[in-house]
Amino acid sequence: MYVFDSMNGELEHIYAAGSPDAGVYIGECYPCNAVIDDAVSEHNGLGYSGTNSGGNLLIVNSTFRYNRAGVVPNSGSYELCYPERETTIVGNLVYSNNQADTPAIDVALLAMGNGILSAGGVLNDIERNLVYDHDKTGIGLVPFLEEDPNDSVPLPEEWSLTCAESKLVPPQDPGGGILWDSMQNRVIGNVLENNRVADLLVASAGTDVSSLGHCFTGNVYTTTAPNNLEVLAPCDATGSGDWSDGEYNVAAWLGETHPPSVAWQTAPLPALEQQVSMPDAATAPAHPATDVPKQIDLAAISVPAKPA
């Protein structure tokens, strides 16, 4: 399910499997004014990907499992309207995204083994998700290295530009590769377990991680990198401690060998379960999309139950 350079939409009751890229994708929009609700995305390179999207963009009540990586919003100048920002990820079930036998683009290979991974994303809210069984991180806030960019990284004061406004700004040649740091994300009330590198992780590749502005509060977890993230950077309070204690070398991912992509034509897929049909699909009148997206009561969404 692929949405690009569009806004004011609603994607719900989706089953998506077998894509080298993402099972569900929304890219290049700000504000997107969009909702993803009740999706199941599995056996893809990425469960969800959102390059340079955000702004009233909600991903809720969905399941991302058995992909190379789960939910991966990211920034990059290879599409317009950067950076990725203000995506709300609430009440999702994200587990076992270590699947080596899927088709996969390069980013999916690199991101393998992560649950929710903000790769250069900013100002995202990640709350009340159940995230478990990943070879790397449960929730990781990491940089994205763009080796051949089309523009330089916008300053924070430019993050509020709409997509239409940012398209009018002439690009600036950065003269080489650029680093999109994840910044100012809020991670609250998630439940994480058995994520082998860390349940919660913040990393960069040259930037002082204490300056990135993330915050963590009320999460249930065992491990973080750096250590004691909820003490270092609590939300709506002043943190303290040593950011170098347990700091993680995320640049090592670039040198790792990953299981190669499997051709999408032959990649194994689970048996397709019976899907619920739209009532009276053959005779129902058209419903023009003039009343979307629907309103979501985020406060009413709780951490989902773990499946049997």
Q: DSSP string of 134-186?
A: ESSEEEEEE-EEESS-SSPPPPGGGTT--HHHHTTSPP---SS-EEE--BS-E
Query: Tens digits of per-residue pLDDT, 116-140?
Result: 999 999 999 999 999 999 999 999 9
pLDDT at 273: 85
CA distances from 110 to 69, 126, 134, 246 (A): 9, 22, 14, 22
pTM of the model: 0.97
Q: How many helices (H) and strands (E) does the chain have?
A: 3, 21
Mapped onto helix, strand or coil, the DSSP state of residue 217 is strand
Of residues 58 and 289, more confidently modeled: 58
Across residues 248-274, what is the average pLDDT?
94
Q: Please provide the DSSP assignment of 99-146 as one string.
A: -TTS---HHHHHTTT-SEEEES-BS-EEES-EEEEESSEEEEEE-EEE
Cα(150)–Cα(178) distance, integer angstroms: 10
Query: Is-cis flag, bond preceding 156, omega within 30?
Result: no
Query: Tens digits of per-residue pLDDT, 52-74?
Result: 999 999 999 999 999 999 999 99
pLDDT at 147 over 90: yes
Provide the sign of the torsion angle of the four alpha carbons 69, 277, 128, 75, taken in this order: positive
Across residues 284-298, what is the average pLDDT?
92
Q: Which residue has the tokens 């969009």?
A: 34
